[in-house]
Amino acid sequence: MKDNDYPSRSNTDPSLDTPTVVHLTKRLRKIARGFDKHSRYLQEHHHITVPQVICLKEVAEQDPITLSELTRTVTLTNSTVTGIVDRLEKQDLLQRVRSSSDRRQIHLRLTDKGKAFLQEIPSPVPRRFIEGMERYTPAEVERILWAVDQIAGLLDPDAGQEGYAGRGPRLARKGFEAPPGQEPSDQTTP
């Protein structure tokens, strides 16, 4: 992050001052703690991390997928994804396969062991989270996903000043749209 990512007290918008920021910060910390706790559970009981599960699930969904495509879709750095892929390959959960059409290109594919492992492994999110989300209507889920993508964009140092300004790659792939009246073309930056 750059120094200008940390506003001084004098240049913050009073409408987003302390109560709103504190409330949002508390909620984000609560979310992070919940995911951290579940991540520790996966590590202790299944010997896998949440980023590894996410990468495995993405490879399964996109099979085959290149390392650069995987890096882009899971929004981790190339070096992090390379390390994850190395570890998953050592566990025989996925493999690197040279493309038949372009020998320079390497695709990632799940092994049979990786496919079986994905059938056994719990979700990368806690069960109570999934059960809670199932109580919402599709329209409510759509609004939640849109809002989370907006917040993620605002906090992503690589997203630029406007954040994601709309759907993230996951939402676009799954067919989710921004809530009516809040489509990306209607967005204005602060």
Cα–Cα distance for residue pair 119/90, rounded to 1 Å: 19
Estimate the crossing angle of helix 18-46 against helix 50-62, to 10 degrees: 80
Q: Which pLDDT tens digit goes with each residue over 75-125?
A: 889 999 999 999 999 999 999 998 888 878 889 999 999 999 999 988 888
Q: Considering the domain 20-124 in this protein, what is its CATH number?
A: 1.10.10.10
Q: Which of 125-129, 149-153, 176-180 has the lowest mean pLDDT?
A: 176-180
Q: Provide the CA 100 distance to its chain's centre, in angstroms.
A: 30
Cα–Cα distance for residue pair 102/137, rounded to 1 Å: 45
pLDDT classification of 167: cutoffs 50, 70, 90: very low
Q: Provide the CA 129 distance to its chain's centre, in angstroms.
A: 15
Cα–Cα distance for residue pair 145/136, rounded to 1 Å: 12
- Contact status, residue 138 vs residue 67, Cβ threshold 8 Å: no
| Total-model pTM | 0.68
Q: Which pLDDT tens digit goes with each residue over 3-12?
A: 555 555 555 5
Residue 170's nearest CA partner among 186, 154, 146, 140 is 146
Instruction: Indicate whether 151 pLDDT > 80.
Output: yes
DSSP annotation of 179 reads: P
pLDDT at position 80 is 94
In the chain, where are the structural domains located?
20-124, 136-190
pLDDT classification of 22: cutoffs 50, 70, 90: confident
